[in-house]
Amino acid sequence: MPRNCIPVRWFPVFYRRKDAKLIKGLAMINRVIPFMLRDKIGSQVYVPLKLYMDNAIDFVKEKSEEHGRRDFSYFDILVASVMRSIAEKPQLNRFIKGRHHYQRNDLSATFIVKKKLTEEDEERQAIIKFDPADTFDDYTRKLRQAIRDMRTFEEDDGEKVMKILLSFPTWFVNFFTGIMMKLDDVGMMPMSLSSVDGMHTSIYIANLGSIGFDDAPFHHIYEWGTGSVFLTFGRLHKERIFSKDGTERVRYVINAAVSIDERISEGIFFANAIRLFKKYVENPRLLDEKPELPDLWEKMKQQGKTIYLKQ
């Protein structure tokens, strides 16, 4: 038996989480990978993307006219596209804790909000819960509400927790966070903490276009928390694109970069998930349609802390 491999049946209280179900029935290679790749930093794979936004520009104009508002943006399309992709490819909604695979119960995203784009203004984390069946209008409504809340409220629950914690000496903060990480590994971190923590999320998103970046750097996945995917993207801009036949064309483009914990699935799945994300971004009218969700979401509604499935 590999070192640190503790069968769940020996300690039934441990490894049973409130925010996810323990996955059983995975292939042997998938089960052993977390023992070989022991942290997120050493398990990341990086995917650069070039997203063609010509259809997105038309879609934003149509939505603005339809709703009589001018606050629709490409950020809406990118967030809606990646959340729809996770909903339809729920293996992206997995994470590794204590060398075990888990399927997250909900669908969530975290991103940074600033009241003003200045160095002095503080960053705040917006955490949004989505429904797998959401359409584009649902995504934008929840995004608007979350951004409005972050720019209006003085403090949210997560910031209150951090404020209290940071009032203690450094040695205690270091000790406390270390203990919490260990408890998180065995599924015993209090939900009162993890539920207000932006790093316990399906995906972390960084809109670097809002601060003038054309290119999107690859971002590491945080060791703290349960996030397994990080998406960054840059500013909408024009580029000269050459087709396979040598024809030159000027197109609207956004550069994006995805970081994924490779332990949660396999290469062919990641490739298909990335293609799906790109399809939705470049054909955003599809986001108005209800998604075709896999049976896994129904299985997740069943009672119990364990889910039996195959890759």
Residue 57 inside a domain? The answer is yes
User: Looking at the domain assignment, is residue 291 inside a domain?
Assistant: yes
1 in a domain, yes or no? Answer: no
For residue 162, the enclosing domain spans: 8-308
Q: What is the pLDDT of residue 14?
A: 62
Using one digit for the tens of pLDDT, what is the confidence trace for 23-38? 999 999 999 999 999 9
Give the tens place of pLDDT for each residue, 228-265.
Answer: 999 999 999 999 988 888 888 899 999 999 999 999 99
Task: Establish if 2 belongs to a structural domain.
Answer: no
Digit-coded pLDDT (tens) for 61-109: 999 888 877 778 999 999 999 999 999 999 999 999 999 999 999 999 9
Q: Could you tell me if residue 300 is inside a domain?
A: yes
* Confidence check: pLDDT of 5 > 70: no
Tell me whether residue 175 is in a domain: yes
What's the number of domains the chain is made of?
1
Give domain status of residue 288, yes or no. yes
Q: Taking the model in full, what pTM does it have?
A: 0.90
The burial class, CB within 10 Å (0-12 / 13-18 / 19+), for 240 is: exposed
Nearest to 270 by CA among 311, 224, 225: 311
Residues 6+ away with beta carbon under 8 Å from 250:
238, 239, 240, 241
Query: Domain containing 171 — which CATH number?
Result: 3.30.559.10
The answer to whether position 246 is within a domain reads: yes
